[in-house]
Structure 1
């Protein structure tokens, strides 16, 4: 494990369990190629904060990497809605591009 992942896990073990911590841990695990564990933390992040568009975006990337295309599309669709409601235009555009590419199979 990386020092960052160790520190984030330590915070989680201390009871600091919120969407931002889960997102950070999920992103760090994804970057470390531990996609299954990353997806688990990102699922928790979006449960805790359904309007967290960055967490939806990263969850979609994890699901796609795991071969769960339908789950990836679902995550990005929900992420687009969250981004739109929060006025996060760039996040919505990025996930829209990922959706189009995944639907085309490229």
Structure 2
């Protein structure tokens, strides 16, 4: 079965948040805020959702600079397929998940 591919990042609309819930993959952003309010904060988060309302990218900004981001791909059943964690220095760590959403070690 095919995976759900990412939409072009240009077609995804950013949504701004003040925080996120407990550690869960993918993250669950909370405390929606406006872009203007976000830019006045020391830190904030930006989430990008696909047409299936799945979080495809989640970024943390600190002092106006990208601090880290997560990128997600999903199986066609809606479960997470992979997570790429990218730090500000460009280093990347990838986690893969089976069709049930369990991490593959």
TM-score by length of 1: 0.29
The structure carrying a bigger helix percent of its residues is 1
